[in-house]
Structure 1
Amino acid sequence: MHNTGITIEEEQQNERLDKVVASINEEWSRTQVQQWIKEGHVLVNGKAVKTNYKCSLGDAVEIVIPEPEELDVLAEEMDLEIYYEDSDVLVVNKPRGMVVHPAPGHVTGTLVNGLMAHCKDLSGINGVMRPGIVHRIDKDTSGLLMVAKNDMAHESLVQQLVDKTVTRRYKAIVHGVIPHDHGTIDAPIGRDKKDRQSMTVTDENSKHAVTHFNVIEKFKDFTYVECQLETGRTHQIRVHMKYIGYPLAGDPKYGPRKTLDIGGQALHAGVLGFVHPRTKEYLEFTSPLPPIFEEVLGTLRQND
């Protein structure tokens, strides 16, 4: 069991309990938190309450995260591209097209299946389907991920994500020519009411989200950019770039109907930096663009 607790402050009073608890840790989804509340793992002033409980100033909220069930995820031998590994953390370069963790419909062939075969010591904080996974990137996004090999490392890395001290820089190709060279998008992201599988910029049930971008190169109809995440919301870069009118090339969910036929969004998590949980040394890793990304850039340069 992992215990954590907070006292409700002025800006949180009258907020729903599930929303307040989900905001503590960006790896906790509202659905997960609601399940914990229903099962009595979240107590307010020592008592179990309903998920829609409205918080009062000074409420003592205790969250007792249940131990994960026994792992029932198949270990599969894979040729993983490991950039760094020690007894606490591992950094892996995920290829495009690979799902990070098992879910209904994707129980094999995921990064977690490969990690299970590579090393047996992964943190158990996130439960059965997601051992060791501290943050994730979308199936068709390539690039670097940090993985925790024990609960101490997991808690440290998640705290760094919450504190916004992890360096995460992505390369992307977007539709349109961005007129300015850099900018910051500060717009809250939540589930799209019209499409539960998509995220959108909304004020309802949303989470704070900030993306910084720098233009690297401009083409006739596209722009090559680097985006730096300050927060890590689901589909954040894809949603934010669409929001400002420059959706990602190749993106089947958030891009225009006529886009580059490259089998998914042109997005690569190229730089990842964090403080090592044990040694406290800052580590930073860089991975090169995947070949298809380089090919698209080459074609765009030729067409100009």
Structure 2
Amino acid sequence: MGDKIDYFSDELIKDIALPERFTFPFFYEPHPLSKLAAADLQQYLETHTGLDHNFGLTDDTDGSAIGKMFGVLVVQDPTGRLGYLSAFSGKLANSNDHGKFVPPVFDMLSENSFFLKGLEFITAINTRIDELQADEKYQQLKLDIEQAAITATAEITHLKQQLKANKDNRKQLRTQLKERLNEAEYAVAEADIINQSLADKRQLKYLTDNWLARQAELKNQLDQFESILEPLKNERKERSADLQQQIFEQYSFLNKDGQTKSLQAIFSETPFGKPPAGSGECAMPKLLQFAFANNYTPIAMAEFWWGTSPKSEIRKHKQFYPACTGKCKPILAHMLEGIAIDDNPLLHIKEDSHPLEIVFEDDSFVVVNKPSGLRSVPGVNIEDSVYSRLKHGLLDTEPLIIHRLDMDTSGLLVVAKTQAAHKHIQRQFLQRTVSKRYTALISKVLDQPGGMIDLPLGPDLLNRPRQLVCFETGKKSVTKWEVVKRFPDMTKVNFWPLTGRTHQLRMHSAHESGLNAPIVGDDLYGTASERMYLHAAEIEFIHPATREKMRFAVEEGF
């Protein structure tokens, strides 16, 4: 099993120092050794034709194009030699068996595995369910029931309207008869009118009862099918749950001390309660499992995307990405236990490098020019923020945050000083009457002078705080943009967000259906730099007390 390692040549790495601690998997700049390993693996992927997987990089490959996340783990073997291990997330060409790459933690596809046998049972049940549901009589019954409900409603509604007209006519008739007839004659006429009313009620009851009986008969016939389908569906559900539980227990993860922990045990301690689909199939758990099983010491890691971008996420060919948080973070917490790891760079704030400029202040609100790198509000591990600084500076006044900017975004932020001002300005944000302009550097030269981007956004629940483009559940997100200036390899643009979704400008810039180029320095959707070049340059709203139109502008520092 140890032959999966690719050793570095001594000449290649002679001037590269080993890292003092292992890579922090969720935010990192790849170590030089990781970059060498990734470059070598990418060379392999470019030249090796036996993977039988369509990454979408050429037009002559059969099958749907699917990019993949690959991982490299730099390791030291028991003799002290350095090399790297390779892995892919999920499967390649519906297979786990690819010579260069480490095996999965558990191979569900191995011959005669309990998974394949269990899947065979479930597939047979699915086939029987599909046959029953495709039966012509079953399909016709469903259509008949649907049509009967529509027709019954229409006929009963029509009759009720007719009966109401009859009732109105009888009321008019009573008034006329009272004027023409004596008491005895009116009593005879009234009895006849009452009989007409009773006849109408009988007619309505007859029609309603007939339709109820007809619908009940159709439902009874459908129930005969459902009485066969329901046990099959329950059996499928139970077998699927049992099979999933068996799979969870088979995924058992090592750490450096040889301690094992099952997938179920790991996720039982998280808010999920149970493992999300695909847990344990990502590259990094596979790599660490193989390293610990073969007595290799992990030195550094990196993961990169290979292939065409997915439709929902921001993934660029050959670009490095952190490990996912939803599926990998709980697993890696166990696997990396006892290993010295780099600090989370996001928790390192240079206190003296972020002066907070007050642009405007009166009794209602304060407008600040937030520097890049400063949070809008305190985080779990970071107190320093616009809120905490204003709270300290305003003394007896509690700053009330109305809107936020991402930590790496600079620019104008409005903070209320009274509840009334907060409510008034916040309502303007909710009603989308606040006008905002952002300026950004985009990481390619844009051909068009401007345009509109309309891509619905929603949270990536398994990889927070990242967002996804989703046309089914995403919220409408619209951005107007315009080129300000073109540089040799970048473009300065103005953005006007017409909606206010999380990471809207960052996603609309990076996504292939948007500008298809991340904002320069966007470490989440692009490549990290000394800062993210996005600046909230202008804001306009109505003063909550004077009702004057207020406009503030601060030029970008780039």
- TM-score range with shorter-chain normalisation? 0.5 to 0.7
- 2:544 is aligned, of 253, 268, 277, to 277
Q: Whole-Å Cα distance in 2 between the matches of residues 121 and 163 of structure 1?
A: 31
- 2:386 is aligned, of 97, 106, 111, to 111
Q: 1:75-124: per-residue Cα shift (whole Å, max 9, x none)?
A: x9995311111111110000111011012111x2111110101214656x
SS where residue 197 of structure 1 aligns? coil
Q: Corresponding residue for 1:246?
A: 517
Instruction: Classify 1:101/1:217 alpha carbon distance in 2 versus 1 (closer, same or farther; 3 Å).
Output: same
**8 Å contact from structure 1 (residues 201, 240) kept in 2:** no
**8 Å contact from structure 1 (residues 121, 150) kept in 2:** no
1:181 has 2:449 as partner? yes
1:98 has 2:374 as partner? yes
What is the deviation of 1:206? Answer: 2.6
**8 Å contact from structure 2 (residues 372, 532) kept in 1:** no
Look up the equivalent residue of 2:419 and give its one-letter code.
D
Q: Whole-Å Cα distance in 2 between the matches of residues 282 and 164 of structure 1?
A: 15
The aligned length equals 204
Q: Whole-Å Cα distance in 1 between the matches of residues 447 and 397 of structure 2?
A: 45
**8 Å contact from structure 1 (residues 161, 231) kept in 2:** no
Q: Whole-Å Cα distance in 2 between the matches of residues 175 and 271 of structure 1?
A: 22
Q: How does 1:212-227 map to 2 (within 5 A)?
A: 212-227=480-495
Q: Corresponding residue for 2:467?
A: 199
For normalisation by structure 1, the TM-score amounts to 0.63
What is the deviation of 1:175? Answer: 1.6
What is the deviation of 1:186? Answer: 1.6
- 1:140 is aligned, of 376, 401, 408, to 408
Q: Corresponding residue for 1:172?
A: 440
What is the deviation of 1:196? Answer: 2.1
Instruction: Classify 1:187/1:122 alpha carbon distance in 2 versus 1 (closer, same or farther; 3 Å).
Output: farther
Q: Whole-Å Cα distance in 2 between the matches of residues 172 and 122 of structure 1?
A: 34
Q: How does 1:1-304 map to 2 (within 5 A)?
A: 80-106=356-382, 108-120=383-395, 131-243=399-511, 244=514, 245-255=516-526, 259=527, 262-290=529-557, 293=558
**8 Å contact from structure 2 (residues 521, 530) kept in 1:** yes
Larger Rg: 2
Q: Whole-Å Cα distance in 1 between the matches of residues 508 and 494 of structure 2?
A: 13
**8 Å contact from structure 1 (residues 191, 205) kept in 2:** no
What is the deviation of 1:231? Answer: 1.5
Q: Whole-Å Cα distance in 1 between the matches of residues 395 and 472 of structure 2?
A: 41
SS where residue 363 of structure 2 aligns? coil
What is the deviation of 1:154? Answer: 0.8
**8 Å contact from structure 2 (residues 458, 467) kept in 1:** yes
**8 Å contact from structure 1 (residues 121, 149) kept in 2:** no
SS where residue 465 of structure 2 aligns? strand
Q: Whole-Å Cα distance in 2 between the matches of residues 79 and 252 of structure 1?
A: 22
Q: Corresponding residue for 1:127?
A: none
Q: Whole-Å Cα distance in 1 between the matches of residues 391 and 425 of structure 2?
A: 20
What is the deviation of 1:278? Answer: 0.8
Q: Whole-Å Cα distance in 2 between the matches of residues 169 and 121 of structure 1?
A: 32
For normalisation by structure 2, the TM-score amounts to 0.35
What is the deviation of 1:264? Answer: 3.0
Q: Whole-Å Cα distance in 1 between the matches of residues 474 and 456 of structure 2?
A: 6
Q: Whole-Å Cα distance in 2 between the matches of residues 146 and 206 of structure 1?
A: 27
Look up the equivalent residue of 2:369 and give its one-letter code.
N
Q: Write 1 or 2 for the structure with the bigger share of strand.
A: 1
Q: 1:120-177: per-residue Cα shift (whole Å, max 9, x none)?
A: 4656xxxxxxx51111111111100011111111111111111111121111011222
Q: Whole-Å Cα distance in 1 between the matches of residues 389 and 538 of structure 2?
A: 22
Instruction: Classify 1:180/1:144 alpha carbon distance in 2 versus 1 (closer, same or farther; 3 Å).
Output: same
